[in-house]
Structure 1
Amino acid sequence: MQVEFEFACAAIKQLKRPVSDQDKLLIYSYYKQATQGDCNIAAPPDSDAKAKAKWEAWNGNKGMSKMDAMRIYIDKVEELKKNEAG
């Protein structure tokens, strides 16, 4: 699973098409959960919308195992690759 996850991390950087902000948040949240576990930082101020969105996305995965997060991350990257291929 770790090797597949690392391949997916590399593959996401190779995509040619832009990834939607929503998909970027999903990818980010599962990456953080897979690599660091539950969100362990304080919520940023509401005035920092980007940081707040990223924090909320990651914190939304609270309690998910690192393995499950890796699996979902890999699946999402595969979906994005297929969409790019048409």
Structure 2
Amino acid sequence: MNIQELFQQAVSRSKTLTEKPGNDILLQLYALYKQSTEGDINIEPPSNMFDLVGKAKFNAWESLKGKPKEAAMQEYVDLMGKLK
């Protein structure tokens, strides 16, 4: 199975987890997913200073800037492998 197929399986599995991961894990999954599917961040940071969730998501994705899509997919698959 190639990384693309493994990634798609992990994404499907993420929707059926029995336990909700902590916020830090959710942010990692979000950033890895965005990097895997869209590449480097391509949006402006949230302008509302009270949008803490939006800023956290932006920062998490921005921290992966330059990471190849395949590497992000592999990290996503590996992280999902550790979750229940």
Do they superpose with TM above 0.5? Answer: yes
CA distance in 1 between counterparts of 2:5 and 2:20 reads 25
Unaligned runs of 5+ in 2: none
Structure 1 stretches lacking a partner, 5+ long: none
What is the aligned length? 81
Distance 2:50 2:23 in 1: 18
Which segments of structure 1 move beyond 3 Å, counting only runs of 4 or more? none
- Distance apart, 1:41 and its partner CA: 0.4
- What RMSD in Å do the two structures reach over aligned CA positions? 0.7
TM-score, normalised to structure 2, is 0.93
Return the letter of the residue paired with 2:42.
N
2:69 is aligned with 1:62? no
User: Which protein has the bigger helix share?
Assistant: 1
Provide TM-score, normalisation by structure 1: 0.91
Q: Percent identity?
A: 37
